[in-house]
Amino acid sequence: MFDEIQFDKIKRLPKYVFAAINEIKLEMRRNNEDVIDFSMGNPDGITPAHIIDKLCEAAQKPKNHGYSASRGIYKLRLAICNWYKRKYNVDLDPELEACAVMGSKEGYVHLVQAIANFGDSAVVAEPVYPIHYYAFIIVGANVTKFGLKWNDRFELDEDDYFENLKRSLRETMPKPKFVVVNFPHNPTTVVVKKSFYERLVALAKEERFYIISDIAYADLTFDGYSTPSILEVEGAKEVAVESYTLSKSYNMAGWRVGFVVGNPKLVGALQKIKSWIDYGMYAPIQVAATIALDGPQECVEEIKGKYEKRMDVLIKSFSEAGWEMDKPQASMFIWAKLPECAQGLGSLEFSKRLLREAKVAVSPGVGFGEHGEGYVRIALIENEKRIRQAARNIKQFLKTLQNTKEA
């Protein structure tokens, strides 16, 4: 019906690679098969009690049930700025330089809608969290990609990054207006030092582009690593914004609370487009989010500790099963090379077979772009007992693969 009416934006979006895994997973669960699921970064823990208590208290007040503020209530924006001051010693104006959003993904997409014109160019490094790329595609902009390089501690090769970025700036037409960075990185877990942002801010001022930095996993760090903020760099607010989410650090994924801060021109554009699109989050959620940011932070350390313990158990048990992988310094993921006996399968086929034969779900690296091939992303969302069970299943699966390869 109405074949002459085409949806060009939707046609630019490919089939979601992860859909193949999700379809198999759904079919198996319909057949009452027990799938050990490491495929999505969906926190399995409950939100800390003091945050839930504040939500319940705020929900009892009639005034909190009407429309809210699209950019976030003032106290939440103030709490966002206080959080940055405590964590990074960065001063922000809650009126001009902070905007609360319905999760960092929504905030990022609306920001791109507000600032990117049809035909504009942006640059992202690959592997890439898909929306970091496709938000620009949806608005009719174009994206230049290049591959990330890192060492065995998942530390970014800065020199290689800037060599590729400078080449992209020279060779892309029209010249890129935006560069997207995401460290700790999803999916690879790659981390950076403050020196990276110092070089990036200097280059942005020289080449005249804006930076969008996503630090969704900033709090989930291990072995002494501490995530820097681009806004710590002198003059960064002239060229950059940064997004953060409460989803991971506070186990608030379903609450959909995040924020974008920094450059007042970009934040102002986001605030304006949101004023046309939405009426803001449910007010009691915003009140509770204020308590999350301003209140006791021991819960964040507990959540971080849970992920690190799971990480250690998974790396040890999977290694004993025949699948070696390196420990990251940050995030709730492990970016793992395919086992040697599975190198010829490719990440998607390996992930399908792992799911069907070992009942273990992971995300194929190719779903994050061609530079993700040869890897899978493992989310630390199953408990230690389930992790050890997965390792036992994987051990048998890898034996079968090895025997087939040798036959």
Evaluate whether 22 touches 367 at the Cβ level (below 8 Å): no
Please name the residue that has the structure tokens 């591959």.
147
- State pLDDT tens for residues 146-158: 999 999 999 999 9
Could you report the per-residue pLDDT of 197-245, keeping only the tens digit for each? 999 999 999 999 999 999 999 999 999 999 999 999 999 999 999 999 9
Q: Tell me what the pLDDT averaged over the chain comes to.
A: 95
For the chain, the straight-line distance linking the first and the last C-alpha, in angstroms and rounded, comes to: 53
- Asked whether the predicted pLDDT for residue 407 surpasses 70, the reply is no
pLDDT digit string (tens) for 53-86?
999 999 999 999 999 999 999 999 999 999 999 9
Q: What is the pLDDT of residues 159-210, one digit of tens each?
A: 999 999 999 999 999 999 999 999 999 999 999 999 999 999 999 999 999 9
pLDDT band at 20 (very low <50, low <70, confident <90, very high): confident
* The predicted structure's pLDDT at residue 375: 97
Share of the chain above pLDDT 90, in %: 91
pTM: 0.95
Residue 183: CB atoms within 10 A of its CB come to 26
pLDDT for position 401: 86
Q: Would you say residue 280 has pLDDT above 70?
A: yes
Model pLDDT, residue 258: 97
pLDDT tens digit string along 129-142? Answer: 999 999 999 999 99
Pairing relationship of beta strands 375-379 and 333-337 according to DSSP bridges: antiparallel
pLDDT higher than 80, residue 15:
no
